[in-house]
Amino acid sequence: MIADRPRSRLMTAALVLGVSLLLFVTAIVLSSCYKLRTSAALFADWTQYELRCKSPPTMASGSTLRKRQSTLATPLRYQVGGSTLTAWNAYGYVDSSGEWDIAPQFLTASEFSEGRAAVQSVNGWGFIDTTGSWILAPGTIDFGASFSDGLARIYARRGRGHLVTFGYIDRSGSIAVPLAFDHATDFCGGRALVGDEPWWSEMVSSLLPGLHSPWKPRFYYWIIDRSGARADLPSP
């Protein structure tokens, strides 16, 4: 009987540990489900807000320049994954008369928005102004979106994988909101929707690849203002 006491105590401790672990996991799952549910509701509210905010359109280009593609006499050469690629076509910008204002030199280019354009040179992505000068040096980021509400959404890759981190720059090319989000929208009316991917999302997605929304994990969403601080959506 005396010899059985340590074994009994060990079994009791194991049982307590197991129950505690189960309660801990249950709390995490319930918390995650609640966050995803509230995030889904916030995403729906943002969609409606964005429709109201951008109607009528507020995306003034700030420029009469328009992008145009042209065939080059001398090709552009650039590196991708250690390989040298050649491009015979490049983008530039023409004025209202159709004359080249910024010579063809970019692999990819967006239209001007608020006097700025995201372009990809042989050295990578960056932003230029209407004179063709760089406001954000090429290669600083991995992609840039159009300016909206004075800020442009950018992202940079994390390591060599497909994961990226989003942030925002202002019209001077300076970081206005640090790159810290797994998901981000353009600003509108002084607000943007950002989100983080749950740590378990990729694991569940790989185990259940056929799982679709609304059950497939997405993001924990929240609203930020132009400083990056959490904020509420303005009332309709």
Question: What is the Cα–Cα distance from 144 to 127, expressed in whole angstroms?
Answer: 8
- Percent of the chain predicted with pLDDT > 70: 78
Whether residue 129 sits in one domain with residue 199: no
Whether residue 167 sits in one domain with residue 115: no
Q: Would you say residue 148 has pLDDT above 60? A: yes
pLDDT band at 219, cuts 50/70/90? confident
Q: Count structural domains, the chain.
A: 2
Average the pLDDT over 110-134 and give the result. 96
Average the pLDDT over 37-60 and give the result. 77
Whether residue 159 sits in one domain with residue 103: no
Does a structural domain hold residue 28?
Answer: no
Whether residue 219 sits in one domain with residue 185: yes
DSSP string, 155-200: EEE-TTSS-EEEEEEETTS-EEEEEEESEE---BTTBEEEEE--TT
Indicate the residue among 119, 141, 163 that finishes a domain.
141
**The two structure tokens encoding residue 184:** 């981000």
Radius of gyration of the chain (CA): 25
Strand partners, 154: 144, 167
> What is the pLDDT at residue 215?
43
Q: Would you say residue 1 has pLDDT above 60? A: no
Q: Would you say residue 57 has pLDDT above 60? A: no
Indicate the residue among 79, 107, 141 that finishes a domain.
141
Whether residue 218 sits in one domain with residue 177: yes
Indicate the residue among 112, 141, 170 that finishes a domain.
141
Q: Which tens digit of pLDDT belongs to each residue from 153-212?
A: 999 987 655 678 999 999 999 999 999 999 999 999 999 999 988 766 666 656 555 554
Of the listed ranges 22-36, 46-60, 164-178, the least confidently predicted one is: 22-36
Question: What is the Cα–Cα distance from 108 to 195, expressed in whole angstroms?
Answer: 27
> What is the pLDDT at residue 32?
60
Question: What is the Cα–Cα distance from 21 to 26, expressed in whole angstroms?
Answer: 8
Whether residue 118 sits in one domain with residue 192: no
Whether residue 93 sits in one domain with residue 209: no
Average the pLDDT over 135-144 and give the result. 95
Whether residue 154 sits in one domain with residue 203: yes
Domain that holds residue 66: 60-141
Whether residue 196 sits in one domain with residue 115: no
* Average pLDDT taken over every residue of the chain: 84
> What is the pLDDT at residue 33?
61
C-beta of residue 163 within 8 angstroms of C-beta of residue 199 = no
Whether residue 182 sits in one domain with residue 100: no
**The two structure tokens encoding residue 206:** 């790989």
pLDDT band at 214, cuts 50/70/90? very low
> What is the pLDDT at residue 82?
82
Q: Would you say residue 137 has pLDDT above 70? A: yes
Which of 229, 171, 165, 223 shows the shortest CA–CA distance to 194?
Answer: 223
Q: In 3-state terms, what secondary structure has residue 202?
A: helix
> What is the pLDDT at residue 81?
77
Whether residue 153 sits in one domain with residue 46: yes
